[in-house]
């Protein structure tokens, strides 16, 4: 008998909650590293901060990957598909990728000539450091969450019993994430990459042979709103969808209420 899987099922929600909980711990530890940055010795202290951040990202990426592997294996068991397969955990992000992302997050802390400085770069140093810290938290969160998402997607690609995956989005997700989640299990086994932004807590749920995907009530509502207010209209359909969500969605977009 075919099983049913949903982006709003108990297992999907539990997995997303576990990743969100991991993010909270990550942010706590990232904020603890702020003490390594000495404002009067930025160039001397920044390398130590970058190295510590790399270690934190690697540590939490391993945990995120482990959660992703456990989730995939549990979903496979629940689907009752034949054969043996064990999801492999994704590697932490390459050192160069983490460093480049963190350097982008902190690019505004450095002194600029007044004629060349942007509005953000012209702020007092304490303001620039605070903004850089927020960006660094978001960058680290995405790097860590991507490790879990990559683990699930790579398992879907390698497992012959997996056919597709669907996006799971939180009720308070942005319009971009809700739009992709409304599409259901349209992401084929060989779909490349998972489109995510900083601070994105969306996940991927695998679909196996013989399974029927059933969208959650919220994903079905997002699909209805998109079809009614955005699909087939000229201009930016995402912008139209965003307005429809702000006006009609029972779970408003962040900042719209």
- Indicate the range of 22-31, 67-76, 169-178 predicted with least confidence: 169-178
Cα–Cα distance, 215 to 181 (Å, whole number): 9
93: nearest Cα among 105, 85, 104, 101: 101
pLDDT at 56 over 50: yes
* Of 146, 54, 125, nearest in space to 96 by CA: 54
Instruction: Provide, rounded to the nearest whole percent, the portion of the chain with pLDDT above 90.
Output: 75
Where does the pLDDT of residue 235 fall: very low under 50, low under 70, confident under 90, or very high at 90 and above? confident
* Residue 189: pLDDT band with limits 50, 70, 90: low
User: For the chain, how many residues are written?
Assistant: 257
Mean pLDDT along residues 128-148:
95
* pLDDT tens-digit map of 90-112: 999 987 999 999 999 999 999 88
Each residue's pLDDT tens digit, 3-37: 899 998 889 889 989 999 999 999 999 999 999 99
Whether the pLDDT of residue 187 is over 90: the answer is no
Instruction: Kindly report the average pLDDT of the chain as a whole number.
Output: 91
Instruction: Note the pLDDT of residue 159.
Output: 96
CB within 8 Å of 200: residues ≥ 6 apart:
142, 145, 173, 174, 177
- Judge whether residue 1 has pLDDT over 60: no
d(CA 229, CA 236): 11
Q: Which two tokens stand for residue 83?
A: 């054969």
Q: How much is the pLDDT for 256?
A: 42
Percent of the chain residues topping a pLDDT of 70: 95
């Amino acid at each position: 008998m075919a099983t049913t899987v949903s982006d709003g099922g108990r297992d999907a929600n539990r997995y997303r909650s576990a990743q969100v909980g991991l993010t909270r711990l990550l942010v706590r530890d990232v904020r603890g590293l702020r003490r390594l940055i000495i404002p009067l010795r930025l160039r001397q202290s920044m390398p130590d901060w970058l190295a510590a951040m790399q270690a934190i990202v690697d540590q939490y990426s391993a945990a995120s990957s482990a959660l992703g592997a456990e989730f995939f294996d549990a979903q496979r068991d629940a689907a009752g598909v034949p054969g043996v397969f064990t999801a492999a955990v994704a590697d932490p992000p390459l050192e160069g990728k983490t460093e480049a992302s963190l350097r982008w997050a902190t690019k505004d802390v450095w002194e600029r000539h007044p004629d060349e400085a942007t509005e953000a770069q012209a702020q007092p140093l304490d303001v620039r450091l605070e903004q850089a810290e927020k960006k660094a938290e978001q960058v680290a969160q995405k790097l860590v969450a991507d490790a879990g998402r990559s683990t699930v997607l790579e398992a879907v690609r390698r497992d012959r019993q997996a056919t597709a995956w669907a996006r799971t989005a939180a009720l308070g997700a942005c319009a971009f994430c809700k739009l992709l989640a409304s599409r259901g299990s349209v992401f084929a086994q060989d779909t490349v990459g998972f489109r995510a932004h900083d601070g994105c807590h969306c996940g991927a749920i695998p679909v196996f042979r013989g399974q029927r995907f059933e969208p959650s009530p919220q994903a079905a509502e997002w699909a209805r709103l998109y079809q009614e207010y955005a699909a087939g209209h000229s201009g930016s359909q995402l912008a139209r969808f965003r307005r429809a969500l702000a006006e009609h969605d029972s779970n408003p977009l962040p900042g719209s209420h």
